[in-house]
Structure 1
Amino acid sequence: MKEILLSTVSGFAVGLLFAKLKLPVPAPPTLAGVMGIVGMFLGYMLAMRFGVR
């Protein structure tokens, strides 16, 4: 849980910094893009859990 909280706070800080510096965000700018990344992560974790290679 600590890792999740720290990574969320770090990501939030980086997002603020990128906005302040007027740089493009190095991530998909839409919720659909973010959910695509989450889906890839979950698919990978599922494959590793069941030994799919």
Structure 2
Amino acid sequence: MKLTIQSFLAGIVLGAIFSLLNLPIPAPPNLAGIMGIVGIFVGFLILNRWNEMRGKAKRDLS
């Protein structure tokens, strides 16, 4: 929960900075764009759960 709050506050600060500098915001401008990002995350979670259920270990990318 702490990480979520920190991320939200960082987003507010960065959004204010972008506004003050008259820069375009680097985020989806509408609900459809946001839902696309949420969909990517949910798809990632589903595939990870599926692989865990099948007994496949998560690949180490480091």
Give the Cα–Cα distance (whole angstroms) in 1 for the partners of residues 43 and 4 of structure 2. Answer: 19
Alignment size in residue pairs: 52
Give the Cα–Cα distance (whole angstroms) in 2 for the partners of residues 13 and 32 of structure 1. Answer: 24
Gapped regions of structure 2 (runs ≥ 5)? 53-62
Instruction: Tell me the TM-score normalized by structure 2.
Output: 0.75
With a CA cutoff of 8 Å and minimum separation of 6, indicate the structure with the bigger relative contact order: 1
- CA RMSD, aligned part only? 1.4
Give the Cα–Cα distance (whole angstroms) in 2 for the partners of residues 20 and 49 of structure 1. Answer: 42
Runs of 4+ displaced beyond 3 Å: none
Larger radius of gyration: 2
Gapped regions of structure 1 (runs ≥ 5)? none
Give the Cα–Cα distance (whole angstroms) in 1 for the partners of residues 5 and 23 of structure 2. Answer: 24
Tell me the percent identity: 46
Give the Cα–Cα distance (whole angstroms) in 2 for the partners of residues 12 and 28 of structure 1. Answer: 15
